[in-house]
């Protein structure tokens, strides 16, 4: 249950290049607004230090960005409201923040980080359709589970569409991880996924790389 907002941290950070006109049009943030501004790492760490979990609507992007700001985020548990709540199962048109807000009948000032955060708090505090608990409860339940990342390395090219339909994503190898299709499944579904790959994709016995991940590792540069 979300009982309230205890504190807020927001800061501008002057980029290394001028802000593109399109970004200014979307966000309202101008070059003059960010000139000479820097994120105070010490203040940020003080704000984050007591947090048990960090929640983001695209944690796969946000965690890597946050870890570049300060290593404190490397040692936090993370949850993703975009991927760890089954929005479509609950009747929503998609997992994008704008879709969820529209379905809940919530309106906000899009493309500003602090407003997006407030909007996400509103979404998480609302009960899910045909459920007796809010979205926040489902998110925390999912975040507590151990996931297993299964790598379909060397899978036949002509079966890539079958992998995509099943939910596999492509990694191009530029981040040091395998150049391969992969999927994250709940720990209890690991053997089912391995059997699927051996029977339907490789059609033979083969070693398949897997890695267990908790909320401490998920979405990080190390996952």
What are the pLDDT digits (tens) for 133-177? 899 999 999 999 999 999 999 999 999 999 999 999 999 999 888
Give the pLDDT confidence score for residue 14 in this predicted structure: 94
How far is C-alpha 12 from the chain's CA centre? 22
Cβ within 8 Å of residue 219, ≥6 positions away: 59, 60, 62, 63, 64, 78, 80
Domain ranges of the chain: 21-143, 146-213
Rounded to an integer, what distance in angstroms lies between the CA atom of residue 93 and that of residue 83? 14
**Topology adopted by domain 21-143:** Nucleotidyltransferase; domain 5 (3.30.420)
pLDDT for residue 217 is more than 90: yes
- What is the C-alpha to C-alpha distance for residues 116 and 221, in angstroms, rounded to an integer? 24
CA distances from 173 to 153, 181, 182 (A): 11, 10, 12
Which pLDDT does position 193 carry in this prediction?
A: 98
pTM for the predicted model, two decimal places: 0.85
């Amino acid at each position: 249950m979300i009982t309230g907002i205890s504190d807020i941290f927001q800061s501008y950070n002057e980029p290394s290049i001028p802000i593109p006109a399109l970004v200014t049009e979307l966000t309202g943030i101008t070059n003059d607004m960010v000139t000479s501004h820097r994120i105070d790492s010490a203040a940020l760490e003080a704000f984050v230090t007591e947090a048990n979990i960090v929640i983001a609507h695209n944690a796969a992007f946000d965690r890597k960005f946050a870890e570049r700001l300060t290593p404190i985020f490397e040692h936090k548990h993370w949850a993703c409201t975009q991927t760890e709540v089954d929005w479509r199962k609950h009747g929503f048109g998609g997992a994008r923040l704008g879709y969820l807000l529209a379905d809940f009948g919530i309106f906000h000032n899009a493309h500003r980080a602090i407003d997006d955060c407030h909007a996400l708090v509103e979404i998480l505090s609302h009960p899910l359709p045909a459920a007796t608990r809010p979205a926040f409860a489902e998110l925390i339940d999912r975040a507590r589970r151990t996931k297993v990342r299964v790598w379909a390395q060397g899978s036949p090219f002509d079966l890539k569409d079958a992998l995509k339909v099943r939910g596999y994503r492509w990694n191009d190898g530029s981040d040091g991880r395998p150049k391969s299709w992969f999927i994250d499944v709940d720990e209890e579904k690991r053997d089912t996924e391995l059997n699927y790959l051996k029977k339907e994709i490789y059609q033979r016995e083969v070693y398949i790389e897997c890695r267990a991940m908790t909320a401490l590792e998920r979405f990080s540069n190390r996952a």
